[in-house]
Amino acid sequence: MKTTLKALALSAALALPVLANAADDALVKRGEYLSKAGDCIACHSAPRGKPFAGGLPMMTPMGAIYSTNITPDQQTGIGQYSEDDFKRAMREGVAKDGHNLYPAMPYPSYAKIDDDDMHALYAYFMNGVTPVKQANREPDIKWPLNMRWPLKVWNMVFLDKGVYRDKPGKDVAWNRGAYLIQGLGHCGSCHTPRGVAFQEKALDESGSAYLTGGLLDNWFASNLTGEHNVGLGRWSEADVAQFLKTGANQHASAFGAMTSVINNSTQAMTDGDVAAMSRYLKSLPAAGGSGGPAYVYDAATTKVSLTRPANDAGARVYTAYCMHCHGADGRGFAPMLAPLAGNPNVLEKDASSLINVTLNGTEDLVIGGVPAPYPMPRYADVLNDQQIADVLTFVRGGWRNGAASVGASDVAKVRKATQASR
């Protein structure tokens, strides 16, 4: 009997580290999931660089800044950060040595992350990420604009340090979606317009500018409110969920920075979290847009012009380069090939994204390890500024889209800016 009890006690003692390790592994795994929800790898990994080792250039009005090494390397990464140091950097934008981070790091959003999730993220970055010895690159911002002390004032004015609190009267799914969109997902960092101090004009649905679209790095991140023409007004919750999971639906396809979000983040999220995000987004009232009449499809006039392309410079370019994918009816072959008729990105007043994607194409959407078969090709070396302006004017006016024309000078501006950033 004593032998049996000793054996049981020894067995239990030996099992304790196993149980602890299992708990630690689960915490790291949860942190990995949260890092994907936050799309951390997209900004903190340079092209052909090591994961999370930093070095990705980001253009600002003052010059380029470069993302930092957030691997647990002791010398060049965050290996010496305590959990409190980590939380301070995430929520307040202050590094371990006390210097302020630029708000290109979305700490105004990450401030809403709760303590449990912050603990899991810290466990992952300290124990689940491979250390990489790679020194951080200094920003290409000249003195005196490179001084960091004004960021302390910026934080005093624009940073709300409170974690997300559930809104009364809203169900569990809505609050989960709000937490993810406003916090880890930091959707407002791109999709909310910024003020003169580079601050987001709103951090949640209480502000009328929240998620109404914003110009950033030569892309216009689209309106995510219920606006009928340029927003999600014609999308169902299922449409939003399909887009977040696959990067395409009957209305539009992802391009630009959103491709990276789909590839590295939202497709890896659980169906429950994606559904919650869709629920929250579809609850947002219409805001932004041009205030024009609701879009109604009509292809008749456009089809006539396509049968007489010699009379229209834009129609000539469209029939030669675009029609085989997007169709004479402008409806494409969704979700594989994006529609242009009624596409929110086509209807948007700011044509920056259309110009950019026509000039530079887009990276492959890779869903479940399989690249999308028909990525948008690059036409910068094929079409001149006037030809691109002509075809985009044709597209924005066709199928009753009714959007403003594009000038060759608009194309030249984006061409110059995107060439400089390559």
* 324 carries a ligand binding annotation: no
* Contacts for 378 with CB less than 8 Å, ≥ 6 apart: 359, 360, 361
Strands (E), 206-289: 214-216, 219-221
Pairing of strands 366-367, 219-221: unpaired
The sign of the torsion formed by the CA atoms of 314, 316, 317, 318 equals positive
Length of the chain equals: 422
- CA distances to 161, 282, 291, 296, 326 from 232, rounded to whole Å, are 30, 7, 15, 15, 21
Q: Using an 8 Å Cβ cutoff, are 62 and 51 in contact?
A: no
385-397 and 352-360 are packed helices; what angle lies between their axes, rounded to 10 degrees?
130
Distance, CA of 409 to CA of 386 (rounded, Å): 8
Which residues is 100 bridged to in the sheet?
94
* 43 carries a ligand binding annotation: yes
3-state secondary structure of 84: helix
Q: In the chain, what is the straight-line distance between the N-terminal and C-terminal CA atoms, in Å?
A: 75
* 119 carries a ligand binding annotation: no
Helices (H) and strands (E) in the chain, counts: 18, 6
Closest of 399, 390, 296, 298 to residue 351, by C-alpha: 390
* 191 carries a ligand binding annotation: yes
Q: What b/e sequence results for 94-115 when a residue is b if at least 16 CB atoms lie within 10 Å of its CB, and e otherwise? A: bbeeeebbbbbbbbbbbbbbee
* 186 carries a ligand binding annotation: no
Distance, CA of 214 to CA of 219 (rounded, Å): 8
Task: State yes or no: cis peptide before 339, omega within 30 of 0.
Answer: no
* 99 carries a ligand binding annotation: no
Question: What residue type is 14 in one-letter code?
Answer: L
Per the structure block, which two tokens stand in for 256? 């630009």
Spacing of C-alpha 235 from chain mean position: 19
Per the structure block, which two tokens stand in for 45? 């990994």
Spacing of C-alpha 121 from chain mean position: 19
Binding residue numbers for heme c: 40, 43-44, 187, 190-191, 322, 325-326
Binding residue numbers: 40, 43-44, 187, 190-191, 322, 325-326
